[in-house]
Amino acid sequence: MNKPSGGVLYTAINNTLNAIAPGITTALAGIPKQRNPAGDDDLYECFLYFEILHELQTQGATGFRAEPAGRPLDFKRGPGNFASTPTPFSYIAFEINNRDYEAHISTFVRTDAAMARCELDVCILDGAVRQSHPNDPDYRQVRIFIEAKYYSNDVELSLARQYVGLGHRMRGPNCFDAFVTCWGIDTSASALIQGSSRYSYNCFDNVIPGNVGALRSALAIAVASIF
């Protein structure tokens, strides 16, 4: 596989968004169109974000809408909490099985350790967490989280160890997690992620536009128990 360019990712995002919610016509204003390749990792997170929403739509999710209403999506460019910007930070809300959920990018979440926080690249949270936790949501409200790696070489063991540590702190009840990269994953790194002594984590490599089937299939299987 080849590492996708920012232009390829941007086109894929546009196509998927139009399939999910063509009414969110201004949302692309909030998706960074990077000219500097060093910033295309933001686009990779956005690409995975919309692919997850597309699969949830396939599994019965409806009512996709940009929040706060009446303004373009304004995705964060780095980790932060809900109250970290002068204007409310944007997300997409939706319903599945008559319950409300929110899809976020680059969000701090409080872990099971006292006062500790972790950044989640992409996550789906129970609805109304902004009201109950105006700064940081709680890990028990996380239904899906994705660690995204936009690399041009195989992910190494050190990063796998970091992800397993994140998973130990973050995985709550009824939660689907995945380590996702656009390139390959070193054999030892993959073995650690998928065969941790405490948990077995999901691991997907070469996830690029046109090659998302494995990730979406795993998510489809998990939806029934999560939602």
Provide the percentage of residues in the chain whose pLDDT is more than 70.
Answer: 76
Residues 6+ apart with CB under 8 A from 210: none
Q: Which residues are within 8 A (CB) of 199 and not within 5 positions of it... i.e. 6 or more apart?
A: 164, 167, 168, 171
Q: Report the C-alpha gap between 103 and 122 in whole angstroms.
A: 8
Tens of pLDDT, residue by residue over 160-185, are: 887 777 777 776 668 898 999 999 98
Mean pLDDT of the chain: 81
Cα–Cα distance measured from residue 55 to residue 20, given in angstroms and rounded to the nearest whole number: 9
Read off the pLDDT band of 218 (50, 70, 90): very high
The predicted pLDDT at position 85 comes to 54
CATH top class, domain 6-226:
alpha beta
**Burial, 186: exposed, middle or buried (Cβ in 10 Å; 0-12, 13-18, 19+)?**
middle
- Of the listed ranges 36-40, 145-149, 182-186, the least confidently predicted one is 36-40
Percent of the chain scoring above 90 in pLDDT: 30
For residue 18, pLDDT over 80 is answered with yes
Q: What is the pTM of this model?
A: 0.88
A 10 A CB-CB count for 94 gives 21
Residue 35: the pLDDT is: 44
DSSP strand pairing (142-149 vs 91-96) = unpaired
Residue 119: is its pLDDT beyond 90?
no
Residues sharing a CB contact under 8 Å with residue 168, sequence separation 6 or more, in sequence order: 198, 199
Which of 41-45, 93-97, 135-139 comes out lowest in average pLDDT?
135-139
Q: What is the pLDDT of residue 82?
A: 62
CA dihedral 175, 176, 179, 184 (to 10 degrees): 170
Per-domain residue ranges for the chain?
6-226
